[in-house]
Structure 1
Amino acid sequence: MWDYITETLRANPALAIFFTLAVGYWIGTRKLGSFSLGAVTGTLLAGVIIGQIGIDISAQVKSIFFIMFLFAVGFGVGPQFVRGIATDGAPQALFAVVICALCLLGVYIAAIVSGYGPGLAAGLIAGSQTISASIGLATDAINTSGLTPEEAKAQLDLIPVAYAVTYLFGTIGTGWILAFLGPKLLRTDIAAACARYEREVLGGAKKDSNFTSAWRAREMRAYRIREGGAAVGKKIAAAEAMAKGERIFVERLRRGGELVQTTPDTMLMAGDVVAVAGRREVLVNLLGQGEEVEDRELLDVPVEAVDVLITAKELDGVELGTLATDPMSRGLYLNSIRRGAMSVNIPLLPGTKLNRGDILRVVGAKAQVQRFVERAGFADRPQTITDMVLVGLAILIGGLIGAYVLPIGGVPITLSTSGGALIAGIFVGWLRTVKPWIGNVPQPTLWFMNSVGLNVFIAVVGISSGPTFVAGLQQAGFGIFFWGLFATGMPMILAPLIGKYLFRFDDAINLGCCGGARTSTASVAMVGEVAKSDVPMLGYTVPYAVGNTLLTLWGLVIVLLLV
């Protein structure tokens, strides 16, 4: 039976890849406390083990899936990347450049001092910075570096060795440094800093305040307005405005037994029955002696919840407190704001500013939602069809640009087709926030391209390097682990200090900027747990977009520096 399985896997490499993915994802989901290896590391380890039987896989397989992965990465970070470079996110974008440069410097120092070649250095930067995508660009760079095929293979076999040895602390160490050492470096109580930021910068509302409730709560009830009630003789807009600091809306009206079409200028009269949305206690106070009644027909208001992609230029930088008073948001309730490639949740506070490319989850009557969509952007309703014309042409054009070779000092410099796909993804991802009708890549497809695309590449790397992995580990020695500690720790210890004293970031968002620059979502989540606040996420998205792009490119750069 064992001989049959091994011979079948050797003869059918596709089965070996799927077997590796299944085992890798299973390993990646196993948890020790709150820590898990993740799918990428699990797939690499599974590939190394399965690859011991000796399986030959065409290099074109991993190239196809890696290009698909890089396009998806670029598509996701495009809006925040461009915003960071072009607008008020520039300081955070520049900060990310500085931190990424320190990450590259740490690996370069380790390589020079220890005499590591491009293979170990590429694996070190991928593992210590937990940027698996850099392996692909490093592979392309080594293959086109002028090394003999034997020398290139020897270097390529060392990449997964260094990656596997240094990834563990790259993940755990970054989170520990930022969440627990970071506040001490800043000499601040991060929870108090976030509370102050919410109070002073974001409009004085706490997370459980009436503002948040007013944006999120939606309860519709029917009331009969009694003679002498506070709303009698007032226009609907004026009656709604009586609830200071709250957002309530008269959705429908019955007068004399008939449903009446209303506008904000419709006058309310005693005896009217109104369907009002808002917090119940506010509704009672607003309507004075209002009598709650049962009127199913009146309350039968078609309501929908829609994700709205913000593309309107006039909403870029607008605070939620201002948007709440704009007629375009009348009758709407905001459930969440998601931002960036990782769709991080942004706190719903009065001073929170919208960015083009944000996705707002709004709830309201269909007509009101449609009115908001027409002014704000694009209704990002669930879709199942991917615009493959857009994806295919974008990857082609990006690949053609990236494949161009520019010889400098005898060294062939090229982004490679993979780097070109990344740049194409960034451009198309940004373009969609300006012209959303050009095409779409649904979130499930993006997940497949991101996760499966990368892990097929990693599976092939692991399977191909399996037979030489042990020998490579012996060659690398235990010192690679300690250099991983240095390459991970040095930038992350300096980052909070650079953010505080050079860039003058507020302590509340400083550590979020640090985690974003290192593309470590887990570390910022840990900071948020310590801070008991989502505020650190406000500093995450722009540095993440820049950091994800640069750290991926560092796989190419470190090879060019060492060849």
Structure 2
Amino acid sequence: MDTIEGLVQSMPEALLFLSIALGYLVGRIKLGRIELGSSTGCILVALVVGQLRPEISPVVQTIALALFMYSIGFKVGPQFFGHLDRHSLSQIALSVIVAVTGLGAVLAMAAILGLDKGTAAGLAAGALTQSSTIGAAVDTLGTLDLAPDRVSALRDNTAIAYAVTYVFGVFGVLTFVRTIAPRLMKIDLAGASAELDREMNGGRPPLKADQFYAYGERVARIHRATGTSAQQTVGDVLHALGGDQVHVVRVRRGGENHTVDASFVLAEGDELAITGPRETVLKAGDVVGPEVVEPAAAAAIGETLDIVVTRKQVQGQRLADLMRAHGPNVYPRSLTRMGHSLGVKDDLVLKRGDVLRVSGLAADVGALAKAIGTEARGSAMTDLVVMTLGIAIGIAIGHVEIPIGATKLTLGTGVGCLFMGLFFGWVRSVQPNLAQYPSAAQQVMADFGLAAFTAMVGLAAAPNALEALRENGLPVLFAGIVVTALPQLVGFVVGRYVMKIQPVVLLGALAGAESVTPAVNALTEEAKSTAPLLGFTLPYATSSVLITIWGIVVALAA
């Protein structure tokens, strides 16, 4: 035994990484169709490994929390600071209602069952499925005027209550939005999603990412002006073709290319590069003259490009209107929001930070990028100057003392870094060439930071875990069921009967309002459509911030 204790004390960091590795394996265990989740797995494993009582510097926990909170803030920043149109306001309002109802339920259950501040904070984090709430609560508990042993016990209870309630938190929301709510609305989820897709796409079947309509696709052809067309203007030709989406991109005359407008008069032998819907361009042989194969045209370079939407004047526009006005010769391939692909639908409304993937001639694609935002030419590099500076400022903000009556409150490292992540995420959406932080890097940092932080919390709580479970295990589990279910029911009633949110969008919004990504993944799988994502991203961003802050509120008020 002495040998084991000696090894533990000589390399405690190895037990931290062991807890993370085994925690991820445990997190993959499924209860039905639902995984336990990596954060729950890490806490459960750490509660076992922690019986060996390794001593790890608290600085490691602070660094892990800072990485996690900054990365989450960076991810949701563009949506959080964005979009105040009518549909967005209703989704924001719904997420606020769900979050406030959740806070009220936590405080009520804490009062009814006599839960301490730490247990109540863990209840909020687990039942409302927001892991970052633990960080805010743990920081705040450390600022209270309590004995160090009492603070340590409250922090331990936070981790235990989170582990008890998180699994049902995910399961409850997933079951409600995928099964119960559709039955209450008497809708077939797949059918309602398909109908919404058709409505948003002008009656056509919806496109998934990188799909296109093979026979409705725009095409490009070159025709030589002969006969009567040689005396007409470009405008006359377009009118004769009869399509408002057909364009003469250029005219080649005497070996030179000319960019033309409707008043340009054609001459015998001019070669017109015409683009437009296939059925319209096929008429050009009769209207203009024979089709020709031009060597220069055969070498024309096409390009597929990701464009970040940043221009204020195009935010809030429908995708179809945007492409008609700014990219008539460019084909949209996909639109991605907060890492979720929404496919391609005519009625998709553009938001700041959306990534639009398009294809077309290089010049046309470049012109579209200038009109709506900035080219997002992929870079695997993270701007560590901005990232580390943001975290440093966030930590400093978290330690600023805010006088409230006779007490002084600090936001804590977690919330300070969350705010700086929100800020730099917004900066990145406005100026995509600044504050580079690729999505893959964000995910790694967020995953590792959360895993390391929750494992550290679990390791610290382990010695007192069994006693705490015996005292409060069943009451906390019951409280978790109430705290998970009540906000969903209230949100459903308000969203359905007061705000009258479209049913499929409402389901996505309810999943986002408690930040349950597995629930929206299950929705899209059940719906066979990305339509539920239309309601998910903005409530997710709003609730990620609000419910995190509830960690401070519960730690102070419970």
Determine if the TM-score, normalized by the shorter chain, exceeds 0.5: yes
Aligned to 1:430: 426
Are 2:379 and 1:383 equivalent residues in the alignment? yes
1:51 CA displacement: 2.0
Question: What displacement does 1:428 show?
Answer: 2.2
Alpha carbons 1:309, 1:377 under 8 Å: kept: yes
Report the equivalent of 1:113: 112
Give the direction of change, closer, same or farther, for the CA distance of 1:228–1:453 in structure 2 (3 Å limit): farther
Amino acid at match of 1:366: A
CA distances 1:175-226 after superposition (whole Å, capped 9, x unpaired)? 11011111233344444544554455665444159xx845998786766669
Letter in 2 for 1:318: Q
Partner AA of 2:331 in structure 1: Y
- Judge conservation of contact 1:304–1:366 (CA < 8 Å) in 2: yes
- 1:286-329 Cα offsets, whole Å, 9 max, x none, are 65699888777633322222221111011011111211211x31
- 2:427 aligned partner, one-letter code: L
**Structure 1: segments with no counterpart, 5+ residues:** none
CA distance in 2 between partners of 1:267 and 1:11 (Å): 86
Is 1:155–2:151 an aligned residue pair? no
Q: Is the 8 A contact 1:122 1:135 kept in 2?
A: yes
Q: Which residue of 2 aligns with 1:497?
A: 493
Which residue does 2:51 correspond to in 1? 52
In structure 2, what is the Cα distance between the partners aligned to 1:241 and 1:519? 54
Alignment equivalent of 2:555, drawn from 550, 555, 559 = 559
Q: Unpaired segments of 5 or more residues in structure 2?
A: none
SS at match of 1:131: coil
Contact 1:230 1:287 in 2 (8 A): no
8 Å contact from structure 2 (residues 376, 432) kept in 1: no
**1:495-534 equivalences in 2 (<5 Å):** 495-534=491-530
The residue number in structure 1 matching 2:481 is: 485
Calculate the TM-score normalised by the size of structure 1: 0.87
Q: Is the 8 A contact 2:19 2:46 kept in 1?
A: yes
How many angstroms does 1:351 deviate by?
2.1
Q: How does 1:54-453 map to 2 (within 5 A)?
A: 54-84=53-83, 89-198=88-197, 203-207=202-206, 213=212, 235=234, 239=238, 242=241, 244=243, 260=257, 263=260, 284=282, 287=285, 298-326=297-325, 328-340=326-338, 343-453=339-449
Given that 1:231 and 1:288 are in contact with CA atoms closer than 8 Å, whether structure 2 keeps it comes out as: no
The answer for the alignment partner of 1:39 in structure 2 is 38
SS at match of 1:477: helix
Q: Which amino acid aligns with 1:96?
A: S
How far 1:344 sits from its partner (Å)? Answer: 2.0
CA 1:509–1:237: 2 relative to 1, 3 Å: farther
CA 1:217–1:199 in 2, change beyond 3 Å: closer, same or farther? closer
Match for 1:456: what amino acid? A
- Change over 3 Å in CA distance of 1:230–1:164 after alignment to 2: farther
CA–CA distance in 2 between the matches of 1:237 and 1:316?
Answer: 34
Aligned twin of 1:16:
15
Which shows bigger deviation, 101-110 or 532-541? 532-541
Matched residues in 1 for 2:433 and 2:218: separation?
A: 34
Q: Taking structure 1 as reference, are residues 240 and 410 closer, same or farther at Cα in structure 2, changes over 3 Å only?
A: farther
Of residues 381-390 and 310-319 in structure 1, the stretch that sits farther from structure 2 once superposed is 381-390
What is the aligned residue count?
A: 555
Given residue 181 of structure 2, which amino acid in structure 1 is its aligned partner? G
1:536 partnered with 2:542? no
Contact 1:254–1:298 (CA<8 Å) still a contact in 2?
no
Over the matched positions of the two proteins, sequence identity in percent amounts to 32
CA deviations over 1:9-29 (Å, ceiling 9, x no partner): 431222222222222233334
Change over 3 Å in CA distance of 1:320–1:48 after alignment to 2 = same
Distance 1:58 1:196, change over 3 A: same
Which stretch shows the higher mean deviation, 545-554 or 30-39? 30-39
Shift in CA distance, 218/461, structure 1 to aligned 2, threshold 3 Å: farther
Is contact 1:259–1:298 with CA below 8 Å preserved after alignment? no
CA drift at 1:546: 0.8
Note the C-alpha offset of 1:63.
Answer: 0.8
Contact 1:186 1:497 in 2 (8 A): no
How far apart in 1 are the matches of 2:392 and 2:190? 48
Residue 465 of structure 1: aligned partner: 461
Report if aligned partners of 1:145, 1:412 keep a CA contact under 8 Å in 2: no
